[in-house]
A and B are shown apart, each in its own frame.
Chain A
Amino acid sequence: MRRLQCFLWCAGLLACQDPERLEGHFQDQQAVTGLDADVLTLEPGQAVDDIHSIEGTWALFLQDRQCMHSVGTITESIIWSWYLLDVHEDADSVGNFNASFVAQTRVCHEELSPLVLSLTTMVPDIIPAAQPVRESTGYFLSTEQDGGFVLSEIVEKWGVPGISIDEEMPSKPDDQRVVDQDRDGYPGVTFGVYNVLGKLACEVRVVQRKRLRIRGHVVNSARVEGELWSRIDKVVLESTQALCESNAEFKVSPNGSHFVMVRVDGREGGYNFDFDEDGAVTCEELNDNLELFMSSHQLVLPKPDNESCRAAE
């Protein structure tokens, strides 16, 4: 009985006071976290000036900037894409300094900047995952620092796998060329459009053909970067909301588009994204560590620069 009395008394006393202010488990961030904490699982990058071997796995980051004319206003639309390239050097073509190669190319992830009304289009990873591995060819004019680099055109065909590069895009969902590539029961591929609260505002079924050409130069043994040229033919077949169905006109942004290609297999001083140590870097490993990928390679996703687009008109 005395124990019960004691318990009730203590419970009452505790409840009648405001809870004491406690210390949390997080320490001041400058001291313990940041990039150092993020890259603990990575081998440190120790790139040198020249490339000695191009063999291995590279990640290709594309930043495609376009001025978009839609619903009576002009905004800049930025598309960020991440690819993986398994590069095999063409032994017959290797010179002292130049080299050509064949690469198995996979698109891993794509993101888009917010549009008007703060709506943001999300591309589910199932869409890139549904794309076939494509073969690309490339050429290093020189593997020394500042040496030129070109890659053959990459053509992505979302929802229209059989279409040629100069064929007119289908405009109707029942067009024979349209394929339910993400297998969601709707024609083409489905993008989600989310409002500023993160809620799904609408879904759009689209077909898209994207042609990408890149040309750049060697920065160091683990990094190549340069300009990106793109042409996107996108048709909205249907939408759950009329606003999302609106067609937009795209023009080249004065801010320009660019690419960065970096080694991700730990060779030649590059970072190693083979987290499960199975000898291969996969899209899952890249997608799960995109923040780490961006920060470790000093890559930034800028905010759209609408003013530049409006000024360019």
Chain B
Amino acid sequence: MRRFMRIAALVGAGLPGLAQANLFDIHGAGARSQALGGAGVAVTADAYATYINPAGLAHAPRMLDMGMSGAFNRSSITLMKRPSGYDTDTYRSLRNPRQDTEDDGSNMGFGVGLSVPLFIENLTLGGLVFMPLSGFANADTSFSDERQQYFSNQLNFEITGDRVEGEIFAAALGYRLADWISIGIGLLVLPENSTNTEEYVKNAADMSDMDVNVKLDQSARRALLGGVIVKPLDWLRVGLSFQDEIYFRIGVRNVIQISGQEGDEPSLLEITAVEHYVPPKVSLGLALIDQRNSFINIETTWRGWSRYLNNHGEKANFNDTFEFRLNGEYGFENYGVLRAGVGYVPTPVPDQTGRTNYVDNDRLLFALGAGRDFELFGIDLTIDFAMQLQLLLQRDTYKKQLAQIPLCAEGVEGLCDEVRDDAASPETLGLQTGNPGFPGFSSGGYILAASIDLKWRF
């Protein structure tokens, strides 16, 4: 407990404007959503509705929102001890030794949101930008199988690691059709990078000597946002939202001309990198509201993880998931509001008993937050803050021993042999692998997130 308190204090001290929204997909968009455990599809009513449920913009006042958000990641991956007799002949000379992964990235960022009624009655425009402090359009790919031994030789959290470093650009419109129903639609945008190189190889047997020209193009990748909020009864509010998949894609196209082949068409080498993947999702929320606008809210989210693309644009065979959240907000007279939420987020990653090492855990969420309206120099302001703890329930992964060991090749899913058996070389018999996830690994830990929002109603 002391350790926990120390860490909590450290986070508080280390994030001086510990503020609000971000890392939206993991922790919730904005301090209010984060305090509700990442929920809010039925109750959102500010600029963050742009991301959570654009229909909520129809209930948002004219408002400018600025905030900060951070996540302190204390998750880790512990590799099981390698038994002897499984090394390849290059295993001892790899650039990096096989090693555990600790504290898989902490992140922090700032966001700006805006909601403004437009010229048509009941129509509101929302805009939202969130930028990680670590930079714009960062990418850091890794392989999920034995190929990673030639790089960091470590495993990485697939969903809670670098994925939360993604930036957000969103804009949406919310329209109140009637007192009891509002709808919204918007766009989420991420950058897309395309790199073309032309290479002239002077000697096919010596790739270190080549002339290269580079052409770089930036474009945008878009995803549709949409939603509806219905209030069939005074005490009941139902929200439904949809967000299409989006990711940051880098395409590299190398055109290679080789000396002696100048008269022929050059050869092509194409590489795709995918970062910050967010799957398609549908959220359904149901809020029971009392007269002081306090509420209890239950929400479920379906995520289409089966469409997931790994860092190299390959299908990863994840499972679709349903997440559950229960939360509430209580308004005190003259003391603002108090919020709390709990949730359960199951992992989409199936047991990694074979060749791949996608690492992810089931998560339990606990969130707490508060907000208060106040006036400063005649300006109407609202401050919201939140803290959220996500526990990664420990997961132990054991690789499966196959009776027939396949040779590593494209399409092979089982734990595979990197060296063909040769009876004349006894050390090649049986399984030889440098797969960093062999013979297994354990993952767990926690993520502590905090946010603060300052909203100016004008």
Contact = CB atoms under 8 A, between A and B. Distances in A.
Interface in B129-186: 147
B220 interface: no
Nearest to B428: A295
Given A25-B401, A71-B261, A14 B393 contact: yes
Contacts of B391: 11-12, 14-15
B266 A295 contact: no
B372 interface: no
Contacts of A11: 364, 391, 393
Interface string A1-35: 00000001001101111111111111111100111
Given A33-B429, A297-B423, A202 B267 contact: yes
Contacts of B393: 11, 14-15
B102 interface: yes
Interface string B262-278: 00111111000000000
B48 to A, nearest CB: 28
A201 interface: yes
B399 to A, nearest CB: 7
A124 to B, nearest CB: 12
A291 B407 contact: yes
A32 to B, nearest CB: 9
A22 B423 CA distance: 33
B410 A198 contact: yes
A24 B430 contact: no
Given A35-B429, A194-B410, A295-B429, A16 B3 contact: yes
Nearest to B207: A117
A15 B446 contact: yes
Nearest to B412: A198
B440 A29 contact: no
Interface string A166-208: 0000000000000000000000000000110111111000000
User: Which range contains the number of A residues in contact with the other chain?
Assistant: 35 or more
A297 B424 CA distance: 10
Contacts of B83: 24, 26-29
Contact of B423 (A35, A241, A244): A35
A243 B267 contact: yes
Interface string B415-458: 00100111111100111000000111011111000000000000
A72 B424 contact: no
Interface residues of B, number: 66
B276 to A, nearest CB: 23
Interface stretch (B52-60, B73-81, B188-196, B321-329): B73-81
B398 A24 contact: yes
Contacts of A199: 410
Given A19-B76, A243-B258, A298 B85 contact: no
Given A26-B439, A244-B267, A14 B444 contact: yes
Interface in B395-414: 396, 398-401, 404-405, 407, 409-410
Interface of B: 3-4, 74, 76-81, 83-86, 100, 102, 147, 203-205, 207, 256, 258-261, 264-269, 364, 366, 391-394, 396, 398-401, 404-405, 407, 409-410, 417, 420-426, 429-431, 438-440, 442-446
In the A-B complex, the 5 residue pairs with the closest CB atoms: A29-B85, A24-B439, A242-B265, A243-B267, A19-B442
Interface of A: 8, 11-12, 14-30, 33-35, 37-38, 71-73, 75, 116-117, 194-195, 197-202, 241-246, 288-289, 291-292, 294-301
Given A25-B400, A116-B205, A246-B264, 19 more contacts: A11-B364, A14-B394, A14-B444, A15-B392, A15-B445, A19-B78, A21-B442, A22-B80, A23-B80, A24-B83, A24-B439, A29-B86, A30-B85, A35-B423, A35-B429, A71-B261, A73-B205, A197-B147, A198-B410
